[in-house]
Structure 1
C-alpha cells in the first residue's frame, strides 16, 4: 500500500541490537507504530528481522537495502527497509547465547549507523539492547552503545539519555 509523498518524515535508524536477545523483537514491536510517523530503516540482519516480525504477528515484507540512503518518493507501508552493514553472519545464532558474532555485528551496526547519521542519511538512531559480554567476546574494546557512539562521533564528553 503506497503512501503519497507529503511532508518529510524523520528517517530513523532502528538498530537491531544483539540478535540472540530481545533486540529484534523490540525493534519489530516498535515498527508497529513508528513506521506510520517516520521513515524507519532497520539496521540488522534481514532474516532475523523477518523472524521477529513473524513472532510479533506484524505482516511486513523485509526489503534488504545496500545503503542507508532514503529511497525518495512514495513509501510502501507493507514493507520495511533493512540494512546489514556487517560481514558477521548472525542469521543462525541461537537465542539466549553469548556469541562473538553478535558482538561484532552490533559494533559494526553502531559504527555504520553513526556514520550514516553524521552524513545526513538518517536523522536519529534508536538502539535496542546489546550484550556487553558478546561485545567483549568480539574483541570490542569499549563496554557498550554510549562509548561506541562517542568514539564514532569523536567525542570525549558523552551522556546517556532516557526519554519516557
Structure 2
C-alpha cells in the first residue's frame, strides 16, 4: 500500500459528494493518505467557506505524481465548471452532470495509464448525467465503456454481507426477458475471482432464486429449473464452491450470519434492499471486472441535504479505505 495512490472523483458537485470527500480527508485516519481528488477546485472551496467541513489545505496539482501527502493537505486535480458560481446546491443541472462525467473519465484515464491504482467515486445523479447528454444507467456501465470491459458486475460490500448482481439498472419486465445461463455463469465467475482477490481462499457463493421460495419446484415459476439451476451446476463442474438456487427471502440472512461469503442477486432491489437495511452507512459499492479497483459510497447524491453539513461521510471514508487496501 505504501506506493499505491487512488483517485477520488467528486461525483455530482451539487450533491453531497464534495462535502463527504472533504469530511473524509480533512482529518482523522485518512488525513494525508495517498489520494488525489479529481473535481472542481472552486466548488470545494465554496463548501469550505460554508464552515460545514473540517479545515484543510486544498493543494492544486496537475498530475498525481505532484501530490504532497501530509496531514491536513488535500490534493486536487482541477476539473473546473465553466461557471462555478452558477452552481446551485441540491438541484439537477446539466453542467453538474457533465462535470461528474468528466471527473470519471479523467480518473479512469489516470488508472488505465497507471498513474493511480484505484478509484473511489462520490455519488452522481443519473438525471443530471442524462441531461448533459451522457446516457448511462450509472457508474458501473460508464466505467465499463471507458475501460472496454465486457464482463463486469456491481458488488455491494460490507464486512458481514457481500452481494453481487446479475442485473442492475434495468426494468423488471426486461430483466426476466434477458435473464440467461451465460450471464449467471459469468457473474458467479466474477464473484469467485473477486473474493479470491480480496483474500478468500475458498469462497462460498450462494445464488438467489428469481421467484418466491426459488420457484418451489416450479410452482411459482420455472426460471430456477431452466436457467439458474443449470448455470450453477456448470460452475460447480468448474470447481467453484457455489450453492443454490436459494430462496431469496432467507439467503441474505444466512450470508450475514456467516454461512456464505457472497450472494449472487438476480436484480437490483433483490440485492440492494437487504444490504442497505443491514449496512446503509458502511456499505461500499464496487465494480468487479474492471482493470483497476473501483469503490464508491453506497448512497445517492442526497440533494435534500446537500451543502448543509448534515451528510454522513462514513460510507465515503470506508470506500476510500477499501480502495487503498484492494489496490
User: Equivalences for 1:91-110 in 2 at 5 Å?
Assistant: 91-92=84-85, 93-110=87-104
**What is the CA-CA distance between 1:53 and the residue it aligns to?**
4.1
Of 12, 23, 27, 1:29 maps to 23
* Shift in alpha-carbon separation, 1:75–1:26, aligned structure 2, 3 A: closer
2:82 equivalent to 1:89: yes
Q: TM-score, normalised by structure 1?
A: 0.83
Question: Could you tell me which residue of structure 2 aligns to residue 155 of structure 1?
Answer: 149
Aligned-partner Cα distance in 2 for 1:41–1:56 = 21
Of 115, 121, 131, 1:137 maps to 131
* Shift in alpha-carbon separation, 1:35–1:117, aligned structure 2, 3 A: farther
2:75 equivalent to 1:52: no
2:113 equivalent to 1:112: no
Structure of higher CA gyration radius: 2
Aligned-partner Cα distance in 1 for 2:48–2:157 = 25
SS of 2:154 mapped into structure 1: coil
**What is the CA-CA distance between 1:52 and the residue it aligns to?**
3.1
- Listed as ranges, the gaps of 5+ residues in structure 1 are 1-6
**What is the CA-CA distance between 1:147 and the residue it aligns to?**
1.1
Question: Could you tell me which residue of structure 2 aligns to residue 4 of structure 1?
Answer: none
2:58 equivalent to 1:41: no
Aligned-partner Cα distance in 1 for 2:31–2:4 = 10
Q: TM-score, normalised by structure 2?
A: 0.44
Aligned-partner Cα distance in 2 for 1:117–1:24 = 21
**What is the CA-CA distance between 1:113 and the residue it aligns to?**
0.3
Question: Could you tell me which residue of structure 2 aligns to residue 64 of structure 1?
Answer: 60
| Contact 1:43/1:82, CA 8 A, preserved across alignment | yes
Q: Point out the structure with the larger helix share.
A: 2
| Contact 2:108/2:143, CA 8 A, preserved across alignment | yes
**What is the CA-CA distance between 1:63 and the residue it aligns to?**
1.1
